[in-house]
Amino acid sequence: MSDIHDYENIEPMHAEEFFPDIGVKSNERVAVFIDGSNLYSAVKQLNMQLDYSKLFNIFNQYNLIRMSYYTAILEEDNTPLRTLVDYLQYNNYNVITKRAKRITTSTGSNFVKGNIDVDMAVDMMELRGYVDHIFLFSGDGDFEKLLVAMQRVGVKVTVISTLAINVCADNLRRQADVFIDLTNIRSYIERDDVRNNEVKEDEDKSYTDFQHDNVPGRM
């Protein structure tokens, strides 16, 4: 299973597609912030294959100001993660990438380290005054204070993650004005060609051994 494959063959969505009720008022200006690695961890553990076209269309029916996807990536990365980033850039997403670092420990093991928390926080703060409702796809508890700051200036914040597995920090869920579990909107955002229990190991290599300072589900 992976949510990052075969994006060259995605068919366009149609206007008659059904959308879930995500609590947006008709006059609200909306912005979406996606923590790429955290969302990946969640959908992977839920055995989901995410359809980013469907996801975009859910929010595009409203007054969408910006839909941003954040991820750290190696400069030489030639994996499906690069394919996903290219696809999103060509399909209405505002993609923010940060150069990741490959680190070798004293024991000789290798891992990749990257963090996009600060980038996301700065971008979100800069939008205050221009949005009424923010959707955050992340379960990272470090974003709690960011939610507080946005709420102080009158911005409603909805967090989208899941409680089905340990990827969403309790403090983040409690701070959110609204919490939406990925399992409740699964049928609206999953790929139509999903195959249950299908695992494609080569596609999972993009995030394998990827270590972030923002550990998913950290309390």
- Average pLDDT (121-130) is 96
- Average pLDDT (113-126) is 89
What is the C-alpha separation between 73 and 206, in angstroms, rounded?
9
pLDDT of residue 116: 86
- What tens digit of pLDDT does each residue of 59-71 get? 999 999 999 999 9
pLDDT of residue 113: 64
> What's the residue count for the chain?
219
- H/E element holding 103? strand 101-104
pLDDT of residue 78: 65
Beta partners for 29? 63
- Average pLDDT (46-62) is 94
pLDDT of residue 111: 60
pLDDT of residue 39: 94
Write down the H helix ranges in the chain: 36-45, 52-60, 80-90, 117-126, 144-152, 170-175, 186-189
Model pTM?
A: 0.78
Domains and CATH numbers, the chain: 25-73+87-96+116-193 (3.40.50.1010)
pLDDT of residue 98: 85
Structure tokens at 187: 């049928």
Q: Which SS3 state, helix, strand or coil, does residue 135 take? A: strand
- Average pLDDT (132-143) is 97
* pLDDT band, residue 144 (cuts 50/70/90): very high
pLDDT of residue 206: 44
**Sheet with 110-114, side-by-side order of all strands:** 101-104, 110-114, 210-212
pLDDT of residue 74: 75
